[in-house]
Structure formats: C-alpha cells, structure tokens
A and B are shown apart, each in its own frame.
Chain A
C-alpha cells in the first residue's frame, strides 16, 4: 500500500492548470503539499467532492478536473459514480484515497474495507478504472490519468494517516473560493 502524501506529491509534481477538488483528510494533505489557486476543497456535506467536480468539469470543459476523494466520502454518495458515468465528461479524473476508514471521523472503519470501487465505477460507465497499491504503478499511469479521455477512475490503496485535527474553515474559506473564481474568470 502507498502513503497518501507519497502519491499526492507525485501528482502535484505533474500538474499545470488542472482544477483539483479534494475532501477532508486528503484535502488536508493536499494543501500541505501544494497551496494553489486552482484548489477547491469540498467539506461540510460529506460525499459531494465528485459532484462539485462534475459541475466544474461541465463548466470548464477546457480544463482537466481531478477529484481527490476519500473512500468514506465516496460511500456516502455512491450514486455519484452512476451520474458521472452517464454524463461522461472527458476532462474528469476521479481518484479515491482508499484506507478503509473514516479517517476524519476518528479512524473508524468503513463498513467493508475490501469494497472494489474500481469494479463499481467500471459498471457505472467510467471509461477506464484502476486499482493501484504501489507508487511505481501510480506514476506509470499518471500520464493517462491526466490526459486520456475520461471519465477516469483510480482506487488508490493507502495506509491510514494519523488522526489529527484539521483546519476545515481555513481550507474552505470564502477567500479561497473567491481566488478560484477569479483565476477561472481570467480565462475569459
């Protein structure tokens, strides 16, 4: 299994102008690695990261939208895979940090740690789906995950991170949202 920050660091090194939607513990680690104007953090209504991402992908078809989801979050909105599979945005990459726990809620286990998210996403209509547990495998697939026509899915098997407090209000501040909007509006 990978360390979450390991794969996020590899991802960050390859980004240019993609919009990244991250949630809860993944969002906290992502912000530690890269604080960029094109980050969008989804908290407060657990499970909606991919829904926010779908809206962004439809609104900004010229940009790749990358979702950094959590397994617990995804379970709270599993139907999103069917919705996204049906809409089929080509600029959509959905990554899931799969550590088998609701890390943000005290590290309690999810109902079934072995759930095969890639199989569910494949059945829902995602164009390509992967289950990845080694960093070398993730790095070898990054080109496709960032550039191939989507929607693309990767279930990333990671170790549980440390249980810690997060600055959620800071992550999802009005200033950050305003900066994202301003950055995107500059495209027009």
Chain B
C-alpha cells in the first residue's frame, strides 16, 4: 500500500494548492464530484468545484449515498470522486466494505484529515479518528496515498485511472487543507 506518511516531518513541509488537486482530478477524466462538506477541504476544493463548469457537483446528505451514486455512474462510464471528511469515511465503512471492496466497484475516496497535526503522519496523530484511517483502509485492502503538498499531486490522476481500470477503490487522503488560488 503506497503511502508517503512514513516520511520525516520536515519532508512534508510545503503547501497544497486546491487548483492543482482539481486539475489532477480533471486530468483523470472525472466528471462528477459527490460531496458532504468538510471544513478541511471546503475552501480549497468544494467551493471552486461547485462553480467549475467541467465538473458536476452532487451534494448528498450522508457519505454512504456517495458510494451508491459513484457505482451507478460507472455503468455509464462516468468517473466520480467522493469528497468527504475522515469522520464521514468512518461512518460509511459498511458501504465501502460492500459496494467498493466486496463488489469491486471503482470508488475514489478523497478524504480530508481535518485536524491532523502539520508535519505528522496520520498514524501518529493525537486524534483517534485520524490514527485509524490508514489501518482501516489497509484492513480493507484499499490502496491509499497521502496528499499533503503540491509535490504529491502527480499521484492523483494515475491513482484514479488505476481505480477505473481495475474496478477497485482507492483512498486519497488530504493531509493539509488546500489553499484556494
């Protein structure tokens, strides 16, 4: 499971530009974003996505709806990114288990790690919910990548492409709140 979270803290310094993340999503052919608002990514991702003419934003009431919608969209060869907070991912674990893993649907989980301490690996966080995210993805056999700086964004499009080519989920963990350019 590829992850950059083992890097020393000082390697993770830098910034994360929201428009770079959005460009990477679009470069992978994503047409739909399914979202429940997350304070961590609202400003840098959700707000610009809402007005992006190339993306259709579907706002849902709860995170597990996104799993069903993304699966349904795939039958029309439409690609989607699910944009949620880590708390929402924890809520939706049964849907992730059933729809994404057991039924092998192409599901891209872009998960905001609200409150993760800067420069700290998620599994070292003082927050229990953040500490368990990567181990839970590992338990499910879901590959995941930590996106914390602009240097990490080149892994986004290949990860999404692989998800749809292999029809299996991926986690893209947003470690730093993206800035709005």
Contacts and interface: CB of A to CB of B under 8 A. Distances in A.
Interface string B36-79: 00000000000000000000101111101111111111111110
Contacts of A49: 68
A47 B66 CA distance: 12
Interface residues of A, number: 35
B59 A56 contact: no
Interface stretch (B18-26, B92-100, B118-126, B171-179): B92-100
Given A51-B72, A86-B59, A59 B78 contact: yes
B62 A58 contact: no
A134 interface: no
Contacts of B99: 44-45, 48
Interface string A99-123: 0000000000000000000000000
* Interface SS majority for chain A: helix
A180 B64 CA distance: 23
Interface residues of B, number: 31
A77 B64 contact: yes
Interface string A11-42: 00000000001000000000000000000101
A5 interface: no
B78 A45 contact: no
A72 interface: no
Interface of B: 32, 56, 58-62, 64-78, 80, 94-95, 97-99, 102-104
11 contacts: A48-B99, A51-B66, A53-B72, A54-B65, A58-B32, A58-B69, A59-B73, A77-B64, A83-B59, A87-B58, A184-B76
Given A54-B65, A60-B75, 12 more contacts: A44-B103, A45-B98, A45-B99, A48-B95, A48-B99, A51-B68, A55-B68, A55-B69, A57-B72, A59-B75, A80-B65, A87-B58
